[in-house]
Structure 1
Amino acid sequence: MPDPIWVHFTQLEHIIRFKQKRRECNYCQQQINNALRAAYIYFRNCEQH
C-alpha cells in the first residue's frame, strides 16, 4: 500500500535532466525527487498546503 503522503504529489514522467523519477507538489507545483523522505520534508515546509 502506498504511503499517504503521495496523495499530495503527482507522479511525473521521466525528466531528462534528472536521473531519479520526480513528483510534483499538488499545491505549489514544486518538483521533488520521488523519495519518501524528500516528500515528507518538502510537505512539512510547503507554504501553500
Structure 2
Amino acid sequence: MMPSERSQKESLSCYSTELFRRHYPKSQCWIFSRGNPLGYLTTIDYTR
C-alpha cells in the first residue's frame, strides 16, 4: 500500500458515519489502522 493511499484512507476513517446514522440507530464507522490496512467496521453508540 502506498503511503498516500494509507493517508487517504485514514482521513476517511469516519466518512460513513452520517450515512449510517440515517439507516441505523447506532452509527457505524470504518476505522483504518496500520495493523488493519483494510479497515474494520465498528459500532459507535451516539445515543447521548
TM-score relative to the length of structure 1: 0.33
TM-score relative to the length of structure 2: 0.33
Q: Would you tell me which structure has more strand in proportion to its own residues?
A: 2
Which structure would you say has the larger Rg? Answer: 2
